[in-house]
Amino acid sequence: MKTVAVVLFPDLLLLDIAGPLEVFSIANRYLEPHNHYEILTIASESMSVRASNGIKLTADIHIDQAAGNYDVLIVPGGPGAYNQQYPALQCWLRKASSQVRLVASICTGAFILGKAGLLDGRRVTTHWNYTERLAEQFPQANVETDQIFVRDDNLLTSGGVTTGIDLALSIIAEDHCKAIALSVAKVLLVVMQRQGGQMQFSPLVADVAKDDSPIFRVRNYVLENVAEEFSVERMAGLAAMSARHFARTFTRELNMTPMEFVQSARIDSARRLLETSNLPLKTVAFRSGFGSARHMRHLFVEKLGLPPSQYRRQFS
């Protein structure tokens, strides 16, 4: 029998717990009793905590009683994970991480692992809206922005919320077989492997910003006139700068080249049209500055992992 332990703390996201735990619970239906997963909840503070949605949870044991030698140790996310400090939990996690077979964070639970010093030098991910914050707060971590979940040795980190289900299914498949994991996925009405990553859900560039610097004036102009043709030379002219100086300054301030920004702005424009209209793909491509539906399709598959037609089916 394998033990799946979950730590509880105030203001956690309930779905980060419920999703993966249901995967392990349903897997038990297909496993012999000696192969079952035993689920254990561990309190880091009070034995009773409230999740971010107001539901009260009561832990099985306190970390002072927790052995630490579990098969899977799960750290959920939520506002409490990135807004609060839990010194006792962080200390316990540092010790327990060397005893458990797998340490896993769901969504922003990666911030708690980071505060425990468990992300340094490791490939990790979190919810797309927090990847930049995670990278800034833990610069020694190698943060990947588009993965559903990432495994680095015995450390697993997952993206936003429901990706905890994907992570748990991968553990089932590894522990037993893909057929068992597939059976669980069918019960939950989810796919075993999603097409594309988190980038499908996140904007590639921010909205128009209130900043009157030359670089941001050009940035905002591109966002408001994305169907126009742009080159580095044209954008540099709009900023009244030389092309070379503009390209260097733009890349330094926005962390992408001018043409990468134009491409991302066009993809975001097309996504909005696909989500909110029934316009033909050719029209969407034209209005977003791609020139052709074929070119748009190529960039969607390259950047988002799926073609525009499938994006529309999933998000409109």
Whether the predicted pLDDT of 76 surpasses 90: yes
pLDDT at 228 over 90: yes
* Cα-Cα-Cα-Cα dihedral sign, residues 56, 60, 64, 67: negative
Q: Which among 70-84, 144-158, 199-213, 254-268 has the top mean pLDDT?
A: 70-84
The per-residue pLDDT for 91 is 93
What per-residue confidence (pLDDT) applies to 194? 67
Residues 45, 130: Cα–Cα separation, whole Å: 25
Average pLDDT of 266-285? 92
What architecture is the 214-315 domain classified under in CATH? Orthogonal Bundle (1.10)
Six token digits for residue 271 = 């996504």
Residue 199: predicted pLDDT: 63
Q: Note the pLDDT of residue 201.
A: 62
Domains of the chain: which residue ranges? 2-198, 214-315
Q: What is the pLDDT of residues 31-54, one digit of tens each?
A: 999 999 999 999 988 899 999 999
Quick check: 98 and 161 in contact, CB under 8 A?
A: no
pTM: 0.74
Q: Report whether pLDDT(203) > 80.
A: no
* pLDDT given at position 159: 86
Look over the chain and give the mean of its residue pLDDT values, rounded to a whole number. 90
Examine the pLDDT at 83 and tell me if it is beyond 80. yes
Least confident of 42-56, 203-217, 233-247: 203-217
Q: Does the structure show a pLDDT above 70 at 197?
A: no
CA pair distance 14, 86, nearest whole angstrom: 18
Domain 2-198 fold is: Rossmann fold (3.40.50)
CB atoms within 10 A of CB 21: 20
